[in-house]
Amino acid sequence: MIFRTQFFEDYVTGEQRETFGRTITEADIVTHAGQTGDFFPHHMDAEWCKNQPFKQRIAHGTLTFSVAIGMTATEINPEAFSKGYDRLRFIKPVYIGDTIRVTIVISEKKESKKPRFGQVTEHVEVFNQKNEIVMVCDHILLANKKNEE
């Protein structure tokens, strides 16, 4: 974890970063089910899944989202904070044993309704080990503007 101070003016549209990979395990799925109460058979019942389109258990979408976003949290910027996420989509299933990685691109900068902040959008794409996109979303940040004197 590193500190990287960036004001609104410091963000550059098109700037990109990528995470290392992380393998999704059965323990991840079981723990997530316990934390959320989502024990649907798609995640928990290997025998039931054999007769379903995916043929095996799949990770919860919310698990994929949580892990992927956690993987991007490698920098602490004391001048920005998360406003939320838009356009979250689960494109392909994530299976036990899949390794995911995340690419983040600064896709937009615009003025905020609050004059001392600017709004920055990070487009987030999650890929599996086959380089197939499995999830996308947009992360909205509010970043302090530099003090102008």
Classify residue 9 by its DSSP letter: G
Computed from CA positions of residues 68, 72, 77, 79, in that sequence, does the dihedral angle turn out positive or negative? negative
Give the predicted TM-score (pTM) of the model. 0.93
pLDDT reported for residue 149 = 47
Q: Which secondary-structure segment (H or E) carries 135?
A: strand 133-144
Give the domain ranges of the chain. 2-144
Number of Cβ within 10 Å of residue 109's Cβ equals 16
Instruction: Give the pLDDT mean for 7-17.
Output: 96
pLDDT reported for residue 148 = 56
Q: What are phi and psi of 56, to 5 degrees?
A: -155, 165
Task: For residue range 75-127, list pLDDT tens digits in order.
Answer: 889 999 999 999 999 999 999 999 999 999 999 999 998 889 999 999 999 99
CA dihedral 11, 14, 17, 23 (to 10 degrees): 130
Q: Which CATH number is 2-144 given?
A: 3.10.129.10
